[in-house]
Amino acid sequence: MTAPPAEPPRPQNGAARIAGIGVAMPPPTRQSALWEGFFAAHFAGRVRPLAERIFANAGVTTRQAVLNPLEEDVTSWSTGRRMSRFAVEVLPLGAAAVSRALADAGLAAADVGLLAVCSCTGYATPGLDILLAHQLGLAPSAQRLFVGHMGCYAALPGLGTAADFVSARQRPAVLLCAELTSLHAQPATSDAQQIVAHALFADAAAAVVLMPGAGPGYAVRDVVSVTDTATADLMTWTVTDLGFRMGLSPKVPDVLAVHVAALVRDLLGAHGLAAPDVGGWAVHPGGPRILRVVEAELGLPEPALAASRAVLDRYGNCSSPTVLLILDALTRQTPPPRYVVMLAFGPGLTLYAALLEADGERRSTSG
């Protein structure tokens, strides 16, 4: 009897894994020094007591900026001048973050198949993706993707897109999130939304390397989202003649409270998990109230969001890199959590969530 012909080997695509993380920051300044040295005078007169309370209760001790207002007041700069400065400042910061992520993954720049860049704080052509490809020595065949104006949640759709590329093409990808919010300091105002933005936001760059196959790192198991388009006006980022202006309604946490529990429940349920199975929570700290709402809606104990609060305290709200900063902190825990849920929020009003599972050397028996 003749044996049937052997089946050809099937590709083992599997889930992409985060194999390296890199972070780059401008020099830090204490929140109290920023208030006393600049913002107390900037928000002078009748609005000063409100502004002082907002700064004191922002949950921020230090934050960093390429344009420190104690040294350089940009509030009267044109948008063109701000964009020129973006091109100067963002390249070394982004290059440092990507280089550190590649070193962490043990990967050469020439091996990268896709470079995806997220930023909502500056634009230039040639873009940061092209400039980085040249400076870092990416192969001419490397594909590039630039994602702009998605705001604080951009890291997660960027992560999902890069993971899909890795799974489909079996080639490594790099995701970089680089934001220079300090470029967009606005003229003095009595608008509480603007005061909150000035009390929270900071600059940072964070990159992750995604690779195919098993090995140390975190496998990207799923990325999901929900957008409440009826509340699109609650969070805005508007291009003006004096930079980009943030609109941040105090109703945002209330909208998150409506959607976040179902989003996380469905994400975890699709993988046979529930919130108690998750040992690591990387929740974008849009502010202390947002963290309290997520904590309450998901029924999490206070220590669950310790890493998110610590990142807010040490770095401020850095927009899209922030959840990657929290993920970096979680991977440094001993032992690191087996399951991590990343949550980020932004204009739309949009909620994104990702489920990661530790693989290889980073796997532990904790939740």
Pair 29, 148 in one domain = yes
Looking at the structure of the chain, the number of domains it has is: 2
Please determine, for residue 365, whether its predicted confidence score (pLDDT) is greater than 50: no
Pair 155, 25 in one domain = yes
Q: What is the CATH number of the domain that holds 35?
A: 3.40.47.10
Pair 256, 144 in one domain = no
Mean pLDDT, residues 339-348 taken together:
96
Q: Which domain holds residue 227?
A: 217-358
Mean pLDDT, residues 104-109 taken together:
98
Sign, Cα dihedral of 278, 282, 285, 288: positive
Q: Is residue 154 part of a domain?
A: yes
Pair 193, 50 in one domain = yes
Quick one: tokens of 157?
A: 């759709």
In degrees and rounded to multiples of 5, residue 310 shows phi and psi of: -65, -40
Q: Is residue 200 part of a domain?
A: yes
Pair 79, 191 in one domain = yes
Q: Which residues are catalytic?
A: 152
Q: What is the pLDDT of residues 164-184, one digit of tens each?
A: 999 999 999 999 999 999 999
pLDDT band, very low/low/confident/very high, at 11 (cuts 50, 70, 90):
very low
Pair 207, 243 in one domain = no
Q: What is the pLDDT of residues 253-292, one digit of tens each?
A: 999 999 999 999 999 999 999 999 999 999 999 999 999 9
- Residue after which a domain boundary falls, among 166, 182, 211: 211
pLDDT band, very low/low/confident/very high, at 302 (cuts 50, 70, 90):
confident
Mean pLDDT, residues 283-307 taken together:
96
120: CB partners within 8 A, 6+ apart: 148, 149, 150, 151, 154, 179, 237, 244, 319, 320
Q: Is residue 146 part of a domain?
A: yes
Q: Is residue 6 part of a domain?
A: no
Q: Is residue 353 part of a domain?
A: yes
pTM of the model: 0.93
Lowest-pLDDT range of 87-91, 184-188, 234-238, 359-363: 359-363
Q: Check residue 112 and give its pLDDT.
A: 98
pLDDT band, very low/low/confident/very high, at 323 (cuts 50, 70, 90):
very high
- Residue after which a domain boundary falls, among 160, 181, 211: 211
With a pLDDT cut of 90, the percent of the chain lying above it is 92
Q: What is the DSSP string of 116-175?
A: EEEESS---SS-HHHHHHHHHT--TT-EEEEEES-GGGTHHHHHHHHHHHHHHH---EEE
Mean pLDDT, residues 50-54 taken together:
97
Q: Is residue 47 part of a domain?
A: yes
Q: Is residue 12 part of a domain?
A: no
Q: Check residue 360 and give its pLDDT.
A: 53
Pair 235, 98 in one domain = no
Pair 274, 290 in one domain = yes
Q: What is the pLDDT of residues 142-159, one digit of tens each?
A: 999 999 999 999 999 999
Mean pLDDT, residues 55-79 taken together:
97
Q: Is residue 10 part of a domain?
A: no
- Residue after which a domain boundary falls, among 189, 211, 233: 211
The per-residue pLDDT of the chain, averaged, comes to: 93
